[in-house]
Amino acid sequence: MKVTITDIAKIANVSVATVSRVINNKSKGVSEQTRTRLLKLIEEYNFEPNAVARGLVTKKSKIIGLLIQDIANPFYPRLAKGVEEEANLRGYNIILCDGNNSEEKEVNYLDFLNKHYVAGIIYNNFNNIGDKILNIIVNNSIPLVFIDSKIDIPGIRCVYVENEKAIYELVSYLISIGHRKIGFITGPMDSYSTNERFKGYIKVLEDNQIPIDYDLIVEGDYTIPKGYETMGILLDRKTEMTVVVCCNDLMAIGAMEMLEERNIKVPDEMSIVGFDNIDMSRIVRPKLTTVSQPSYEMGRAAAKMLINIIENKSKKNDASVVFLPELVIRDSVKKLN
Amino acid sequence: MKVTITDIAKIANVSVATVSRVINNKSKGVSEQTRTRLLKLIEEYNFEPNAVARGLVTKKSKIIGLLIQDIANPFYPRLAKGVEEEANLRGYNIILCDGNNSEEKEVNYLDFLNKHYVAGIIYNNFNNIGDKILNIIVNNSIPLVFIDSKIDIPGIRCVYVENEKAIYELVSYLISIGHRKIGFITGPMDSYSTNERFKGYIKVLEDNQIPIDYDLIVEGDYTIPKGYETMGILLDRKTEMTVVVCCNDLMAIGAMEMLEERNIKVPDEMSIVGFDNIDMSRIVRPKLTTVSQPSYEMGRAAAKMLINIIENKSKKNDASVVFLPELVIRDSVKKLN
DNA sequence: TTGAAAGCGCTACCAA
DNA sequence: TTGGTAGCGCTTTCAA
């Protein structure tokens, strides 16, 4: 059986209040003598305060919920690592919840975190937020920060990258080296990041007076197989496309598989670019030109921000954190001029 | 403010005991009439039982702790996914803890899970188990299953693959096609899987009367940079090595980077094999010959087993589950005969 | 079928 | 500096 605060109190012949003071490091209210005596006993009997009981009283825990969409997507592990490491530094632990791209699961997890009185939530909303989720977020008083997404709810902070700008720059680069017929494989259209990236794509074409051709656009889902499949669709439409922008590296890699299968050489006959700069983008041949997202740093920033809010250390001017993605030019794009 | 069981009881003019019966689906002890009336109220007031208070009484939770070593290693996300999906099916949630290859962190997390009364733990012990950890595992009465590792503690079940056998078969294959000078990049030598794999390597060489040459062996750490680095070391030793067996795909990929840098062609001038069959092993060129581990299935199996133990549904003959890895032959190995 | 009340292990307030 | 104790929200036992 596990030893409780009452056991220790009895053994030491003091009140539970005194033991409580010691285990909570309340500097005053306990004589040095009692303190050391208790500390020894606690050590000896291997007493660990019951976190559940504690949570019931304080309504606080040292747990942060991290809700992401798909841990199998290599973008997320680095982000999770960043969150975990920063949180650990400050004494917090992480519950990692995988929403699996399902709104139902997401709602369940949000409920779960709520019921368990986690100290705060780091939330990666993949889908456009439905009313149900919005309701939960606004109504539960748990501190929350958005990561890799942005939302306009007053008082809610976000950590994200400039997706629109990133695509804008990426496509500008493609245009500057002579590409005009630019294919585009999106993520799921109800995803925040996809929408931003799509906006960037449309905008840069307009700014360069390139007409938008919907035959060049197809909806993906951020997985390798879908990249493979959608590349096939694009190819079958027999456009004059010279490059395909994929909304993440995974799809770019899938697309390259299709290209290889059809014996179309990258980049000589078709250029490909991705987004994320995951490890694989360096491994694939030709090496993938892509956009680097600082996912680890985003994770750390989000954790830092959240814990500051939790501990009321958040300064007035602690606004949302915006990262700038960086163009990573490698070998999968051909210069046309 | 959140509504509690007492609130509902007051509103409905019944005792909290009755409400408790309803929310716990106790079939008897509540009239159909009262039940429906309460259910409506619960719905209306959006009452969610406080999981923390519940946990304090029952000493149970619907949380399973999953302790792994490094979520950034692509082997783990699939495993985590398996655990998560199976657990969810049965109404459990996962706390994912990343031990980060550090014994200290591991001990912390084990403590943490313990204090929080999780229902059970799925534990991937990367390092050989130290006394401290062993002590925790044996002394805390929380159900626990080992995953991707094996330990001989009576009553503790494991889900793992036959690592030794896998390497034995892999190297047998290499020998059968003419390789004799077989390099070996291990994982960290205090890791369980490394030890098993190393045993397999030694055994197969002995069985084939091939002398063991320690110049062909070097210790790695399961990361890409280390694969790169150790390949360099191996090369500098100027052995007659024709193939290098890497204890995971990540190191194999790092090794291939080194080879590319030194202009050594794979597989013509040097063959490489990996272990795990992660996505990247299909992406890298030449495609990597490797050993496939059913990590997703292992995750599911472990979760299933653990929950059975938790719910006392574990049958007598529910022994450990052993998976057989499968050789995946691709293009990174040259036939020498 | 229903209710009263004890108690889970802890914190925090008030009194000594 | 120390102790007594109420109470967190729930489950569970016993009695009505």
Share of residues in chain B with pLDDT > 70 (%): 95
Q: Which run of H or of E encompasses B246?
A: strand B243-246
pLDDT band at A61 (very low <50, low <70, confident <90, very high): confident
Q: How far apart are CA A143 and CA B158, in angstroms?
A: 39
Name all domains of chain B by residue range, CATH numbers in brackets.
5-55 (1.10.260.40), 63-161+295-325 (3.40.50.2300), 163-293 (3.40.50.2300)
pLDDT band at A315 (very low <50, low <70, confident <90, very high): low
A139-148 residue pLDDT tens: 767 889 999 9
pLDDT band at A286 (very low <50, low <70, confident <90, very high): very high
**Per-residue buried b or exposed e for B242-262, using 16+ beta carbons within 10 Å of the residue's own CB:** bbbbbbbbbbbbbbbbbbeee
Please give the average per-residue pLDDT across B297-310, as a whole number. 94
Q: What is the pLDDT, as a whole number, of residue A101?
A: 81
DSSP code of residue A129: P
3-state secondary structure of B126: coil
Please give the average per-residue pLDDT across A173-178, as a whole number. 97
Please check whether residue A98 is in contact with residue A110, taking contact to mean a CB–CB distance below 8 angstroms: no
Please give the average per-residue pLDDT across B209-219, as a whole number. 97
**Angle B192-207/B163-176 helices, nearest 10 degrees?**
40
Task: Give the range among A27-36, A49-58, B240-249 with minimum mean pLDDT.
Answer: A27-36
Q: What is the pLDDT, as a whole number, of residue A186?
A: 97
Length of chain B: 337
Please check whether residue B321 is in contact with residue B159, taking contact to mean a CB–CB distance below 8 angstroms: yes
**Angle B103-115/A51-58 helices, nearest 10 degrees?**
60
Is 80 exceeded by the pLDDT of residue A135? no
Q: Is the dihedral of CA B309, B315, B320, B321 positive or negative?
A: negative
Strand C–CB A30 distance below 7 A: no
Subunit contact B77:A56, Cβ cutoff 8 A: no
Is 70 exceeded by the pLDDT of residue B1? no
Strand C–CB B30 distance below 7 A: yes
Please check whether residue A60 is in contact with residue A119, taking contact to mean a CB–CB distance below 8 angstroms: yes
**Gyration radius of chain A over CA positions:** 26
Query: Does residue B225 have a cis bond before it (omega within 30 degrees)?
Result: no
Q: Looking at the complex, does the CB of residue B106 fall below 8 Å from at least one CB of chain A?
A: no
A188-231 residue pLDDT tens: 988 888 999 999 999 999 999 999 999 999 999 999 999 999 99
Q: Is the dihedral of CA A109, A142, A92, A127 positive or negative?
A: positive
Q: Which residue of B has its CA nearest to A72?
A: B77
CB neighbourhood size of A302 (10 A): 29
Cα–Cα distance list, B294 to A77, A333, B161, B323, B327 (Å): 20, 36, 8, 8, 12
Q: What is the pLDDT, as a whole number, of residue A53?
A: 92
Subunit contact A105:B93, Cβ cutoff 8 A: no
Q: What is the pLDDT, as a whole number, of residue A317?
A: 56
B167-206 residue pLDDT tens: 999 999 999 999 999 999 999 988 888 999 999 999 999 9
Subunit contact A283:B279, Cβ cutoff 8 A: no
Distance of CA A309 to the CA centre of its chain: 19
Q: Looking at the complex, does the CB of residue B285 fall below 8 Å from at least one CB of chain A?
A: yes
Task: Give the range among A141-145, A249-253, B100-104, B124-128 with minimum mean pLDDT.
Answer: B124-128
Q: Looking at the complex, does the CB of residue B336 fall below 8 Å from at least one CB of chain A?
A: no
Q: How far apart are CA A229 and CA A251, in angstroms?
A: 9
Please give the average per-residue pLDDT across A272-291, as a whole number. 96
DSSP code of residue A191: B
Question: CB-based burial of residue B295 (10 Å sphere; 0-12 exposed, 13-18 middle, 19+ buried)?
Answer: buried
Distance of CA A42 to the CA centre of its chain: 40
DSSP code of residue B14: S
Residues 6+ apart with CB under 8 A from A262: A235
Question: CB-based burial of residue A28 (10 Å sphere; 0-12 exposed, 13-18 middle, 19+ buried)?
Answer: exposed
Q: How far apart are CA A137 and CA B174, in angstroms?
A: 57
Q: Which run of H or of E encompasses B257?
A: helix B249-261
Which residues in chain B touch residue A253, judged by CB atoms under 8 angstroms apart? 283
Task: Give the range among A130-144, B33-47, B182-196, B202-216 with minimum mean pLDDT.
Answer: A130-144
**Helix spans in B90-186 (H):** 103-115, 131-139, 163-176
Q: What is the pLDDT, as a whole number, of residue B112?
A: 87
A243-257 residue pLDDT tens: 999 999 999 999 999
Q: What is the mean pLDDT of chain A?
A: 91
B157-167 residue pLDDT tens: 999 999 999 99
Please check whether residue A48 is in contact with residue A64, taking contact to mean a CB–CB distance below 8 angstroms: no
Vertex A20 angle, CA A18 and A24, to 5°: 120
Tokens coding A264: 């179309």
Q: Looking at the complex, does the CB of residue A81 fall below 8 Å from at least one CB of chain B?
A: yes
Tokens coding B24: 């716990």
CA–C1' gap, A17 and C12, in angstroms: 9
Please give the average per-residue pLDDT across A122-147, as a whole number. 78
From B61, B98, B285, residue closest to A285, measured CB to CB: B285
Is 80 exceeded by the pLDDT of residue B317? no
pLDDT band at B18 (very low <50, low <70, confident <90, very high): very high
**Angle A131-139/A103-115 helices, nearest 10 degrees?**
10
Share of residues in chain B with pLDDT > 90 (%): 64
Q: Which residue of B has its CA nearest to A255?
A: B283
Extract long-range pairs of B255-262: CB within 8 Å, 24+ residues apart. B255/B185, B255/B227, B255/B228, B255/B230, B255/B231, B256/B284, B256/B288, B256/B332, B257/B224, B257/B227, B257/B228, B258/B227, B258/B228, B258/B229, B258/B231, B258/B232, B259/B231, B262/B235
Q: Which run of H or of E encompasses B144?
A: strand B144-147
Bin B273: left if φ > 0, else alpha if -120 < ψ < 50, else beta: beta
3-state secondary structure of B71: coil
Extract long-range pairs of A200-204: CB within 8 Å, 24+ residues apart. A200/A163, A200/A164, A200/A165, A200/A166, A200/A167, A200/A168, A200/A171, A201/A167, A201/A171, A201/A245, A203/A164, A203/A168, A204/A167, A204/A168, A204/A171, A204/A172, A204/A175
Subunit contact A95:B98, Cβ cutoff 8 A: no
